[in-house]
Chain A
């Protein structure tokens, strides 16, 4: 180990290392929440800390939490932006119910988040922001750092702004610009506390500010200053280590849901050997899908930022009509606008991938908060009987696979498909076992090439169907001899001319429904292990209660189920990725349990569908708070229900 000219302690490779002896606690998991003003760079800080955890090999899950406004007034509660990262030495399922450590950059961040910190938790504050004015902005009558209100916590007061400005004194940067680097100070301090690798962050800063090396230097200095603060002062007597997780062997990277979704679309185009056209319009929280795909024109992807949501899906449908893979992306309000065009896709039986990254509603609702209340809209939000297959990812990484599955269904059955992601999965991240592209499914399709009229006339009938899939042939413009017209009016089965015939309409409505009902969806699997912990249960291992979820509740339900089983109680868990059609064995599965519980971030939409279809008296557990379920919360719910059922 050498000491460089400015007195920094680095090892030969240039990385920072902790040398002051501290009490080192081994932890199996930690949850840290970074919170500050929208302009304080909390998302970047959280993101970098997450990358450090990933580089170290922990399993991780994240929950960014930011307001809809671009920049609310400084120091106010509506302006608070936070980033929670949960990292562990085993495989974890959620970003954590509550933070073990809260980093609060100002009084608003403290006030907005203190209720979530458990007693005995650690709070690290930037004391420089705790002046009279900022305290008054959020109605603190006295300074919480001076009165007793934080006595239940371990509070570390750090003058981050001052220290950062001091560290950058000789850089020539103005005071304000220097102060802006305080988020990197915080990152450096936390990185020291948790023995995180730092080369990735310094490399990232060099690349991000490649065109402004003086800014890169300033940020790196601030980062190191934070590290040295921990290393040098004795304010922090304890540091923590969280060992790398024993995930299944393989090569991993960190990925967010929206990025995985975009990559899934890229892969889908490659596997289908079709050009892709994304017709879309910016909307939170789906805009990143557009941003990401717009970078990948080199995969034959055209991104069209249309004038509105309707033009976006219209262009996608037009592209599909011409034989491309048409994709559109939006959130709940956009699905409402796209309804008529999706209906046209249903009637013309063309492939179309429709991505809905769900957010809080109704109406404009909570643009940056998660919810899963568009299920019934997906099922029924079009005039008349207009069935559309529906799929939903369970985790951020699953967004990649679900995009491929949505495309598979759209192309095989010639139909629009609704893909219901949500804000938590879209913005959250986790480690992803990078797939080997040679194992990805072949999604190639055959366009029609010969006239197909069964009467031997040599005409082409656009609605002649494959007897197995009930899909019609895909005859694209430019194919000689197959000229035909399609449209939104009802058409005669087979020949495809406009038809108002009563029997034909009844037949066609049922046929379109049958096509969707017959989609090859895998059976649902149930996780129903014998419980660990304190011995078996009265039922001898098989659970009597099944928890069934869909979408991003996978993580919280799984984490809760683990806790329940650790207590010696049995609970079964199943998760739906296909919402329409539902798996063929679902009815049988539901019937084999005494109670079925369905936790949802809506008022019971899946529960309603299950009751209607299976006549099962499912128990709905709902929360519509713009936040994911907490594992502890669900643990309590499941425990109560299991006790109730097993005592009968």
Chain B
């Protein structure tokens, strides 16, 4: 059986989007608006990375759309010289679903944040993922509410003292990667704002994925949550904490590669010394494993306390997209019985008055 027989997508994420032969430069993707994020905001680096990355796709710039919600992250579209909509808090995935379903010729990107996507937007996020709508969802996670000036967010650590939690936050945070996998996401990745190379790799794979792709981007908010990810950027600490996931490679890390990931007895993964685990018992990374339990187990390593943070692509599997199937149904209906408006209005039971 071929992938087609199984109903699996045989197209890449961008196959219906028109391309251009003319080489593009990053600066063509910059809009004329002065960027208004705070100095030192992680969003600058991400913006730059994306503006450099998009030309590599060779798409017609007018066929790229960025849809955002509300938050500092969501100011993103204004700085991109593409089509864009700055919409309302939490609702970008819904708006993007309507656009992606009716416009297969567009590359649709959703820019959102830990508040926008995981608080008010939680419901729309999980349903977009469940449906596998062909959207690239960039989730800027700075573990705080920046735009509204410093309240805690669904990814803030427990006990965090903020403007709205002077005695410390009582909430247990979400793990966005685990949540996305629980919502059946077919592509989930994570990168750091400062890791241009790693982020570009994940973005490239996400763009080429046909279906929903969630990329969690750890992003620093210098004003309201400065240094939240410093441990992952410190040259000594980073090596002990960041676990890069490379498909086909055993998962090992550490300054001398002395640490690795192995199975627990109960279906999870844990980190230990390779010398103790044994090289043969290291998990070999395979994001194409169908069972979400695999990616989920990876996402639970170290949870969100940053002691251990896997980065890269957790899951990357093929599944028919909602929008492709919706269009196929419409096409099928049109082929079988092209719409005849007069016949529809007249119906089957008429009577005539002379």
Q: Which residues of A contact B (CB under 8 A)?
A: 51, 54-57, 200, 244-254, 263, 266-267, 270, 275, 277, 279, 296-302, 304, 306-308, 310-312, 314-324, 326, 340-341, 344, 348, 400, 434-437, 477-489, 497-498
Contact = CB atoms under 8 A, between A and B. Distances in A.
Contacts of B77: 485, 487
Contacts of B349: 51, 54-55, 200, 253-254
B105, B337, B353: residue with the most chain A Cβ atoms closer than 10 Å? B353
B102 A302 contact: yes
B99 interface: yes
A270 B353 CA distance: 28
Nearest to B126: A307
A318 B96 contact: yes
Given A247-B353, A254-B349, A266-B341, A477 B333 contact: no
Q: Find the residue from A263, A484, A485, A488 having the highest chain B CB count within 10 A.
A: A485
B354 A307 contact: no
Interface stretch (B45-53, B85-93, B162-170, B265-273): B85-93
B78 A485 contact: yes
Interface string B67-105: 100000000011011111111100101111111111101
Contact of B87 (A250, A253, A487): A487
Query: Which 5 pairs show the lowest CB-CB distances between chains A and B?
Result: A487-B86, A318-B98, A314-B94, A315-B98, A299-B339
Contact of B94 (A306, A324, A477): A306
A57 B351 contact: yes
A250 B62 contact: no
B33, B86, B96 pick with most chain A CB within 10 angstroms: B86
A314 B78 contact: no
B235 interface: no
B326 interface: yes
Nearest to A479: B62
B123 interface: yes
B275 interface: no
A437 B336 CA distance: 22
A56 B350 CA distance: 10
A254 to B, nearest CB: 7
Contact of B98 (A200, A254, A326, A484): A326
Contacts of A55: 349, 351
A485 B86 contact: yes
B264 interface: no
Contact of A314 (B60, B91, B341): B91
Contact of A267 (B83, B345, B354): B345
B341 A321 contact: no
B81 A483 contact: yes
14 contacts: A247-B353, A253-B350, A296-B344, A298-B336, A306-B94, A306-B97, A319-B101, A319-B102, A477-B83, A478-B83, A485-B83, A485-B85, A486-B85, A487-B78
A307 B332 CA distance: 25
Contacts, number: 202
Nearest to A325: B102
Nearest to B130: A307
Nearest to A477: B83
B346 interface: yes
A324 B105 CA distance: 14
A322 B99 contact: yes
Contacts of A478: 60, 62-63, 83, 103, 105-106
A621 to B, nearest CB: 35
Nearest to B68: A487
A475 to B, nearest CB: 8
A10 to B, nearest CB: 21
B127 interface: yes
Contacts of B86: 485-489
Contacts of A487: 77-78, 84-87
A309 B291 CA distance: 32
A340 B336 CA distance: 39
A435 B345 contact: yes
A311 B351 contact: no
Interface residues of B, number: 59
A297 B103 contact: no
B337 A298 contact: yes
Interface in B302-350: 326-327, 329-330, 332-334, 336-339, 341-342, 344-347, 349-350
Nearest to B20: A480
A297 B95 contact: no
A249 B353 CA distance: 5
Contacts of B339: 266, 270, 296, 298-300
Given A298-B334, A434-B346, A275 B102 contact: yes
Given A249-B354, A486-B85, A477 B103 contact: yes
A311 B102 CA distance: 15
A252 B97 CA distance: 40
A8 B74 CA distance: 75
Contact of A437 (B60, B65, B84, B342): B342
Contacts of A250: 352-353
B61 interface: yes
Contacts of B341: 266-267, 270, 299, 437
Nearest to B61: A483
B172 interface: no
Contacts of A437: 341-342, 345
Contact of B83 (A252, A270, A483, A498): A483
B106 A322 contact: yes
Nearest to A264: B345
Contact of B353 (A248, A275, A480, A482): A248
B62 A477 contact: yes
A300 B330 contact: yes
Given A252-B351, A277-B98, A485-B86, 20 more contacts: A57-B351, A57-B353, A251-B346, A266-B344, A279-B98, A298-B337, A299-B344, A311-B123, A315-B101, A317-B95, A319-B98, A322-B102, A323-B103, A340-B91, A341-B88, A434-B350, A437-B341, A478-B63, A480-B62, A487-B78
B124 interface: yes
Contacts of B106: 322, 477-478
B31 interface: yes
Contact of B88 (A254, A275, A488): A488
Contacts of A296: 339, 344
A344 B88 contact: yes
Nearest to A400: B345
A246 to B, nearest CB: 7
Contacts of A245: 353
Contacts of B105: 478
A294 to B, nearest CB: 10
Nearest to A255: B347
A247 to B, nearest CB: 5
B330 A302 contact: yes
Contacts of B338: 298
Interface in B214-265: none
Contact of A324 (B84, B102, B327, B350): B102
A411 B210 CA distance: 32
B120 to A, nearest CB: 10
Interface string B120-141: 0001100100000000000000
Nearest to B74: A487
A302 B326 contact: yes
Nearest to B348: A253
Nearest to B79: A485
Given A298-B337, A319-B98, A253 B346 contact: yes
A273 to B, nearest CB: 12
Contact of A480 (B60, B67, B84, B100): B60
A248 B352 CA distance: 10
Given A246-B353, A322-B102, A478-B105, A488 B87 contact: yes
Contact of A298 (B61, B99, B124, B333): B333
